[in-house]
Amino acid sequence: MEQLLGVSLSIPIPADQVLISKVELQELKEQSLIGVYWNMKDLEEKIAKKSEWIKSNILYPSRFRKILDSENGGFVFYPKSKGQTWSFQASKMANFLDQNFTNIFKG
């Protein structure tokens, strides 16, 4: 004969912390990038690669540039002259990097 016991367990949560679901956490992370723009230095820090690598493997290959370039409706501003700087729409760039990880590294 199987016996079931009812147990009530209380786990204290410190006053300076909250408990949220994984879905809510993911939504908060995504929202934290809305309206944020990265420059090249920011992108280097996010993916731990130097700008030369980023340009060679992500920004300049045509298979990605046609998606990324703001002139084609993308979310990356490619500088056209000296004095202009790279600009990346953070939320969309982060999503692109996540979705294309394998494609970026397989070359």
Q: By the 8 A CB rule, do 85 and 39 touch? A: yes
Rounded to an integer, what distance in angstroms lies between the CA atom of residue 88 and that of residue 79? 11
Query: What tens digit of pLDDT does each residue of 4-59 get?
Result: 888 898 989 999 998 999 999 988 888 899 999 999 999 999 999 999 999 999 99
Give 59-87 as a DSSP string: ISSHHHHHHHBGGGT-SEEPP-STT---E
Query: What tens digit of pLDDT does each residue of 57-78 get?
Result: 999 999 999 999 999 999 999 9
pLDDT score, position 107: 65
pLDDT score, position 94: 94
Rounded to an integer, what distance in angstroms lies between the CA atom of residue 60 and that of residue 101? 16
